[in-house]
Amino acid sequence: MITIDHLSFTYPDGTKALNGVTLHIPTGGTTGIVGANGAGKSTLVSHLNGWFLPQKGSIIVDGMAVGKKSLDDIRKSVGLLFQNPDDQLFTARVYDDVMFGPSNLGMKRNEAEAATERLLREFGLWEVRDKPPAHLSHGQKRFAALAAVLVMNPKVLVMDEPTSDLDPRNRRKLIGLVGNLQATRITVSHDLDFIWETCSEVCVMNEGRIVAQGETKTVLSNRSLLENNGLELPLRLQDQISTDGRIRT
Ligand SMILES: Nc1ncnc2c1ncn2[C@@H]1O[C@H](COP(=O)(O)OP(=O)(O)O)[C@@H](O)[C@H]1O
Ligand SMILES: [Mg+2]
């Protein structure tokens, strides 16, 4: 479903953020991408909906090459939840932010309104639909941004650090929610326990390259691999801490 072939990307200031990334993600796959700060994770996933266009190499999503001509179709298929919700929410009203994608990508108005209401209610945001996004809590912003992505019913859902501002209850809610989605999913996260619970495959990135890839439990329990790439074992595997987070005595 997604084929990334020798993708490289350099920012205008000369920073080489991606250095020949090759990756295949099957339809219905759930893939985690982990790596230290600056490894290139956000740059990589920002290519999947054409936010960045390939400078070198190619990306094929659902049979379409990501490029200028295919942008509208790509954005109907691929929903990207940005690392920073402020990049997703830019109108004066939560409701309008969720309606933005459907209005611009040609969904019928009544269908868009029904999907928007359903998601805002499901995420506990219906009461705040007229507020400016800036007045929401971090957690509410995250779910509003997710509603703005899911309203398009994307075949592929890409999430960049989705749990970074969620409290434990909302984090748990997100785990339940993504577990019920049919979409092919790609998740970037520092929260290796979140990846453990929501992804069946993991890629490890370092300096713009994919340095390891495999089944989640194998990759995320490989302490030396993680440590060599600036990461630590998931909390659930750290000796002194049990899975409920309490220190063992
Ligand atoms: N807009 C930008 N201009 C220049 N360099 C950037 C920009 N955004 C990110 N970078 C650099 O690109 C590299 C990869 O960044 P990023 O993809 O954000 O990493 P990650 O998401 O893994 O933390 C880093 O060295 C970062 O400093
Ligand atoms: Mg990032």
For the chain, the domains span: 2-237
Longest dimension (CA), the chain: 60
Q: Which residues line ligand 1 (CB under 6 A)?
A: 11, 13, 15, 17, 35, 37-43
Region 132-139: mean pLDDT is: 94
pLDDT at 243: 53
Q: Mean pLDDT score of the chain, rounded to an integer?
A: 94
pLDDT greater than 80 at residue 240: no
Give the residue whose CA is nearest to atom 20 of ligand 1: 38
Q: Are 25 and 202 in contact (CB under 8 A)?
A: no
Q: Are 241 and 235 in contact (CB under 8 A)?
A: yes
pLDDT at 215: 98
Task: Give 132 Cα–ligand 2 centroid separation in angstroms.
Answer: 25
Region 152-176: mean pLDDT is: 95
Assign domain 2-237 to a CATH class. alpha beta
Closest alpha carbon to 208 in 28, 47, 68: 47
pLDDT at 246: 58
Continuous H helices in the chain: 41-45, 71-77, 94-104, 109-122, 138-150, 168-179, 192-198, 216-220, 223-228
**pLDDT-derived band at 247, boundaries 50, 70, 90:** low
Query: Which tokens sit at 165?
Result: 């501002």
Give the atom of ligand 1 at the shortest distance from the alpha carbon of 160. Answer: 21
Q: How many helices (H) and strands (E) does the chain have?
A: 9, 10
The span from the CA of 18 to the CA of 210, in Å, is: 9
Highest mean pLDDT among 92-96, 104-108, 235-239: 92-96
C-alpha separations of 180 from 77, 79, 173 in Å? 18, 16, 11
Task: Give 45 Cα–ligand 2 centroid separation in angstroms.
Answer: 9
Give the residue whose CA is nearest to atom 7 of ligand 1: 11
Neighbours of ion ligand 2 (CB under 5 A): 42, 83
**pLDDT-derived band at 165, boundaries 50, 70, 90:** confident
Exposed/middle/buried for 236, CB within 10 Å: 0-12, 13-18, 19+? middle
pLDDT greater than 90 at residue 99: yes
pLDDT at 201: 97
**pLDDT-derived band at 191, boundaries 50, 70, 90:** very high
Region 192-216: mean pLDDT is: 97
Q: Which residue has the tokens 């400078």?
A: 55
